[in-house]
Amino acid sequence: MQREPDVSVIVVLADSGPFSRECVEHALQSSVSVEVILVDNGSADGVPQAIDRAYADDDRVRVIYNRANLGFGPAMNRGAALAKAPMLMILNPDCLLQPDTLARMLAYTGTHTGIVGAVVCDNQGVPDPASRRRDPLVARAINTMTGRARDDARYPGVNIPGALPDGPEHVEAVSGAIMLMPRRVFEALHGFDEAYFLHCEDLDLCRRARDAGYEVILAGDVRVLHGKGGSSRHRPVFVSRFKHRGMWRWFRLHDPASRRPLVAAIVWLGIWTHFVLKIPGQLWRLARR
């Protein structure tokens, strides 16, 4: 009889490409017992079905078909509802776990731990600054966009500068590409806010976890390859629209400045102006591929 898994690894697919297969393969090689739950948001690339066939005889892998793109948070919530393990791993399909990744992250969980993140890196091993972040309050966002955050002591930005820690560090937010948390915490927080379709739901979850008294921790000594997005490269404007919508929702829910009507109006205008200005460049890069 197969033992119950230690960690349920939940991956949302949305035309995420063949890299998703490597994601599953690496997760199954973990040194701790896992199950992998794939939630497909109406992919047309055939990859979810191919993975389903490849692991038809492996009880550790399950594929859930939504038949439509419900968004990242809603899909994750549906996967978590079927999870068997006491720990949940939220994982992007372009991330590759090493055999010891989960065990090392589990070592940083404790009674008050809400979320544990890791340092996500590109193919050259360069860490993504979004691995550890502050809440994107409007003042911090402006400091980051204008470059004033270079003087972080006076004008703090969203990303935290300086060398990454070689152990655990308490932070305000970690990257949603990889997040480990107790299932009981996820359920206590009612999972991801499904009003976010794509982007910023990880920042929202980290903020709500902290507001509920849980710790958000970066495992600074754990590195994870993050391939940056098979599902976003061929739909840049679609992804950007929901990213900007997520920014607006986060601001309205969590930034005290949103209570001031004039500030809220300026932020709304700034967010959507930024979205419109990015469209020509996104379409040009898409056409050149």
Q: pLDDT, tens digit, for every residue of 177-186?
A: 999 999 999 9
Q: Mean pLDDT throughout 234-244?
A: 89
Distance CA(219)–CA(59), nearest Å, equals 30
Q: Residue 284: its pLDDT value, please?
A: 86
Q: Residue 236: its pLDDT value, please?
A: 87
Q: Is the model's pLDDT at 289 over the cut of 80?
A: no
Buried b (16+ CB within 10 A) or exposed e, 51-85: bbeebeeeebbbbbebeebbbbbbbbbbbbeebeb
Q: Specify the 3-state DSSP secondary structure of 151.
A: coil
Helix orientation angle between 201-211 and 236-254, rounded to the nearest 10 degrees: 20
Confidence of residue 127 (pLDDT cuts 50, 70, 90): very high
Q: Is the CATH code 3.90.550.10 the one for domain 7-230? A: yes
Q: Is the model's pLDDT at 17 over the cut of 60?
A: yes
For the stretch 135-177, pLDDT in tens is 999 999 999 989 999 999 999 999 999 899 999 999 999 999 9
Alpha-carbon separation of residue 222 from 115, 159, 166, 207, 289 (angstroms) = 14, 18, 8, 22, 33
Q: Which helix (H) or strand (E) holds 182?
A: strand 178-182
For the stretch 59-104, pLDDT in tens is 999 999 998 999 999 999 999 999 999 999 999 999 999 999 999 9
Percent of the chain with pLDDT over 90: 83
Length of the chain: 289
Please indicate, yes or no, whether the overall pTM of this predicted structure exceeds 0.75: yes
Q: For tokens 């050259």, what's the residue?
A: 124
Q: Where are the domains of the chain?
A: 7-230, 233-288
Ramachandran region, residue 125 (left: φ > 0; alpha: ψ -120 to 50; beta: rest): left
Q: Which helix (H) or strand (E) holds 170?
A: strand 168-170
Confidence of residue 233 (pLDDT cuts 50, 70, 90): low
Q: Is the model's pLDDT at 119 over the cut of 60?
A: yes
Q: Residue 232: its pLDDT value, please?
A: 57
Alpha carbon dihedral 14, 15, 17, 23, in 10-degree steps, equals: 10
Q: Is the model's pLDDT at 1 over the cut of 60?
A: no
CB 5 within 8 A of CB 60: yes
Phi, psi of 116 (to 5 degrees): -115, 130
Identify any residues that bridge with 113 across adjacent strands, giving them in sequence order.
215
Q: Specify the 3-state DSSP secondary structure of 150.
A: helix
Structure tokens at 227: 């391939």
- Quote the mean pLDDT of the chain: 93
